[in-house]
Amino acid sequence: MAEYTSLQLMEMEHEYGAHNYHPLEVVIARAEGVWVWDPEGKKYMDCLAAYSAVNQGHRHPRIIQALKDQADRLTLTSRAFFNDRWPQFARKLAQTVGKEMVLPMNTGAEAVETAIKAARRWGYEKKGVPAEQAEIIVMCENFHGRTTTIVSFSTDDVARANYGPYTPGFKLVPYNDVEAVRSAITPNTVAVLVEPIQGEAGVMVPDDGYLRGLREVCDNSNTLLICDEVQTGFCRTGKLFAFEHEGIVPDIIIMGKALGGGVYPVSAIAADKAVMEVFTPGSHGSTFGGNPLACAVAEASIDVLLDEDLAGNAQRLGEYFRENLRRMNSPKVDIVRGKGLLNAVVMNREAGKARKYTTALKESGVLAKETHDWIIRFAPPLTVTRDELDWALERIRTVLA
């Protein structure tokens, strides 16, 4: 018998926790694979996967074992000393993503901040941009995190309001518009920062050729291309990284979420030495970045993704999922879009806001989350099976009928 009921726990959070989230009315007390249970024992399928942080499924045995084994040996040294795990993880991650060096942090937002700092230093020290004049081009409707610098270039009024004065040095252009980026480039542009698919904006998938166009613009202007793969990375879209669908290579890759296997916060940026050598001792750091526990978990997380071909599973089942959603021909749905197992259903205005549908899905045992009022995002763990997807589709069909 649970010590507290779901209702008691939700009331407790409402009283003692800051109200900076509006969670779906469900309490999760236990999880395994794609399934979660509330304190009363009701079972749900997780179709959000902690915003793609649980790509390997909840509590994957290999990742949990790596966590336990490392916790029995060593957890934290800080970077004041060498430890035996960080060098091995650095090599594995660099070789996996095809870059010469990596820099570890903890959260996705910290990794984005690290990429911004790298681009600015590179601009001043390598490109010759005058001091304090560096510009980074960013996209409207972006979501890169919630630090004061990052919300300074957000176009989401809710995320941005009343946090000024805002950090300068960013130039906003429309997403999915190569010409807008080309027109915004100046001699002081040090980087173009882009999500290959805009997740928080409602799974906005750009046109084919968009990333190739950005790569060309950056090549022609001696500008760094930075891809934020925090949500789209590590097999979510059917490739290791979403930028691989266009056959391009960014100068800086930003990683997080699934790098920690749904167990521990791990993030990083990866780049070649020509970029990464701008960091010198004392110029950037993190007490927990590269800690032995994080490194052990992240190595296991990468192994699971590759050994179990979770990119292939995401590709196959993502197509199957979208095809079945479209076949429903629901009059409440305007658009079904996505790539791999990152998908969105856009409700039409007559159908009402998405929250009532995510609530109805929850009641039927499927946990998904609305974004931007009219959009339902579906992103289950990549370990999901076709039978499990069919189970979810049956309930989605009933709710959207």
> What is the CATH number for 135?
3.40.640.10
Token reading at 245? 């669908």
Range of the domain at 300: 85-279+292-307
Give yes or no for residue 15 having a pLDDT over 90: yes
User: Do the domain assignments include residue 195?
Assistant: yes
Instruction: Specify the pLDDT at position 48.
Output: 98
- pLDDT above 70 covers a percentage of the chain that reads 100
User: Do the domain assignments include residue 80?
Assistant: no
Q: How many Cα atoms occupy the beta-carbon half-sphere of 85 within 13 Å?
A: 25
Give yes or no for residue 356 having a pLDDT over 80: yes
> Which of 89, 99, 143, 170 is flagged as catalytic?
143
d(CA 52, CA 341): 9
Give yes or no for residue 55 having a pLDDT over 80: yes
**DSSP state, residue 271:** E
> Which of 99, 153, 170, 228 is flagged as catalytic?
228
Q: How many Cα atoms occupy the beta-carbon half-sphere of 25 within 13 Å?
A: 10
Local structure of 41: helix, strand or coil: coil
User: Do the domain assignments include residue 349?
Assistant: no
User: Do the domain assignments include residue 353?
Assistant: no
What is the tens place of the pLDDT at every residue in 146-196? 999 999 999 999 999 999 999 999 999 999 999 999 999 999 999 999 999
State yes or no: is 69 an active-site residue: no
284 — pLDDT class (breaks 50, 70, 90): very high
User: Do the domain assignments include residue 196?
Assistant: yes
Instruction: Specify the pLDDT at position 346.
Output: 97
The answer to whether the beta carbons of residues 24 and 367 sit under 8 Å apart is yes
Residues 6+ apart with CB under 8 A from 40: 2, 5, 6
State yes or no: is 143 an active-site residue: yes
Give yes or no for residue 1 having a pLDDT over 90: no
2 — pLDDT class (breaks 50, 70, 90): low
> Which of 239, 257, 339, 362 is flagged as catalytic?
257
User: Do the domain assignments include residue 17?
Assistant: no
User: Do the domain assignments include residue 205?
Assistant: yes
Place of tokens 């080309």: 182
- pLDDT above 90 covers a percentage of the chain that reads 99
381 vs 77, 210, 305, 390, CA distance in Å? 32, 27, 11, 15
Total structural domains within the chain: 1
The answer to whether the beta carbons of residues 37 and 44 sit under 8 Å apart is yes
**The whole model's pTM is what?**
0.98
Token reading at 371? 């974004």
User: Do the domain assignments include residue 367?
Assistant: no
Place of tokens 């996705």: 108
